[in-house]
Amino acid sequence: MTATTDPTAPAAPALAPAASPVLGVPPAAPADAAAHFAASLAFHTDVSDVAAVLTAGGDPGFTLVDTRSTEAWDQGRVPGAVHLPTAQIPRLAADLLDPARPVVVYCWGPGCNGAARAALALARLGYQVKEMLGGMEYWTREGLGYETAAGPARRDADPLTAPLAAGACGC
């Protein structure tokens, strides 16, 4: 038996919020949402914001730390970053970082939790720390310049990652 649609039948009702994957759990109260998003921004920054601060010149007010291996560091890193692999944080952080200065960490990209593990290790040592979302992957995908063992490099921006000029999404 095949189903047919009766053009005179009333339209199906809109999904009730409980049946909606978006509204099955209603949005938080505005004050709760504000607290949540403020907390999120206390823990995270993104590639575009870090790039904007670094290209503005002067002291950015934080130390940028690449937490990847030496091989990954040699392959490409954000200009001006300090190299401190996650496993070496307990041994080297005090030699490389000022405990009074905020730290922004990054690893390869969103599919890697190395930056989160590094941030945890640094926080446990008393550092104020944020994670740069997107990591090195999105730094290069946004067409931002980077350094390699062979010298400076840059790739064309991925139009799906950086749809507007200069990699900024306009937000």
Question: Are residues 67 and 107 in contact, defined by beta-carbon separation less than 8 angstroms?
Answer: yes
Q: What is the model's pLDDT at position 4?
A: 54
Q: What is the model's pLDDT at position 30?
A: 97
Residues 6+ apart with CB under 8 A from 109: 134, 135, 136, 137, 138
Helix/strand/coil for 36: helix
Q: So where are the chain's domains? A: 44-165
Divide the 171 residues of the chain into consecutive groups of 10 and give the mean pLDDT of each group: 56 62 92 97 96 95 98 97 98 98 97 96 98 97 95 92 62 71
Tokens of 93: 């952080």
Q: What is the model's pLDDT at position 20?
A: 87
Tokens of 88: 């070496």
Q: What is the model's pLDDT at position 10?
A: 61
If one counts every other C-beta atom within 10 angstroms of the C-beta of residue 39, the result is: 10
Q: Of 41, 168, 43, give the one whose Cα is nearest residue 118.
A: 43
Helix/strand/coil for 17: helix
Pick one of 3.40.250.10, 2.60.40.10, 3.30.450.40, 3.40.1440.10 as the CATH number of 44-165.
3.40.250.10
Residues forming a β-bridge with 103 = 63, 129
Q: What is the model's pLDDT at position 54?
A: 96
Taking only the tens place, the pLDDT of each residue in 48-66 is 999 999 999 999 999 999 9
Q: Of 123, 126, 92, 125, give the one whose Cα is nearest residue 105.
A: 123
Helical ranges in 5-145 per DSSP H: 30-43, 47-55, 70-75, 89-96, 114-124, 135-141
Residue 73 amino acid letter: W
Q: What is the model's pLDDT at position 167?
A: 47
